[in-house]
Structure formats: structure tokens, C-alpha cells
Amino acid sequence: MSVLSGDPCQGALTPGQLHKIFGTVPQGVPDSKAGLGPNCDWQADAGVSVGYATQDHQGLSAVYQNAKPQTSVWHELPLIQGFPAVGYIDKAGAASGDICTVSVGVADALSFDVVLTLSQAKKNAHADPCESAARVAEMVVTNLRQKAGA
């Protein structure tokens, strides 16, 4: 059992955090097709998905190995509450420039991903989707720390 056990729809983001992100509190929708573990999608005028990578047991190493070669933008981010993180835009999302994934390593063998799609207004303002995704990842880390009792 780890902090990444369970459904990210139930606790990855609080209603207050969802309201801060979207201006409303959309219902989370579990997505079992995502691949490496439980995933939850929230949609309003923007989109956020949180996925717990619990099945490959490789943590951020798998992201460097598998995702980095498929990216058009790759950032090693400042530590998020002490945890290493990377932000990237894959080649498929590069054309729109409004989707960024931030992966956070919470243990050697565990990580989670935040995939953020900017709202039209933020896209029009040329906001950086990786900055927004990193802010959401920070919220998730806060909630995981509370779940772990830290």
C-alpha cells in the first residue's frame, strides 16, 4: 500500500483546488484505459488528468526512457516539495501548444502524472501549460503528503 493506492478521483485534488483550477468543481471521471495505473479526468473549459503510475515500478526513470524521446519540449523542473519533476509536451501536442504533462517522482519506483490542457482564454493569452501543470502537481503532492500523514 502506498500513497498512490486508490482512485485519484477521490483525493488527488480537493473540491477547493478544483474550483481554483476551473472556477467550478467538475466531477472527476475515472479512466482505466490510461495504462500505468489509476487515472482521473476533470473537464470544464480546461482539462486536467491525474494518473498514478503504479504498475511499472520504475518511477521517473520510465518517463526519461519512454516519454523524453517523444517530446518536442522537455523541462527538468525545480523540485516540487522535495520531489523531482519533469514537464514535457509530446510531439503530437506540440502543434496546439496547449497540453503539458508534468511527471513527479514520489519514490524510486512510483510517480504520478498531471496532464493539463489550457482553457481557450489561457491559450489565447499564450500561457505556459507546463507552468499551470506544475501548479496542479504541487496541489497533488500536498494532498498525497496529507494522505501519508506527513
What structural domains does the chain harbor? 15-127 (3.40.1000)
CA distance 79 to 103: 11
Evaluate if residue 6 carries a pLDDT over 60.
yes
Evaluate if residue 34 carries a pLDDT over 70.
no
Average pLDDT, the chain: 90
Evaluate if residue 106 carries a pLDDT over 70.
yes
The single-letter DSSP state of residue 14 is: -
* Average pLDDT, integer, range 119-127: 88
| Residue 142, all three cell numbers | 500536498
* Average pLDDT, integer, range 56-68: 90
pTM score of the predicted model: 0.93
Evaluate if residue 102 carries a pLDDT over 70.
yes
* Average pLDDT, integer, range 112-126: 91
Q: What's the confidence (pLDDT) of residue 46?
A: 93
Show the beta-strand stretches assigned E in 23-82: 29-30, 39-43, 47-53, 71-80
* Average pLDDT, integer, range 22-48: 89
CA distance 70 to 54: 21
Min mean pLDDT across 4-8, 134-138, 146-150 is at 146-150
CA distances from residue 149 to 24, 31, 136 in whole angstroms, order as listed? 28, 27, 20
Given a contact cutoff of 8 angstroms between Cβ atoms, the answer to whether 139 and 73 are in contact is no
What is the CB-side half-sphere exposure of residue 61 using CA atoms within 13 A? 8
Q: Residue 14: what residue type?
A: T
| Residue 132, all three cell numbers | 499551470
CA 31 to chain centroid, in Å, comes to: 14
Q: Which residue has the higher pLDDT, 118 or 97?
A: 118
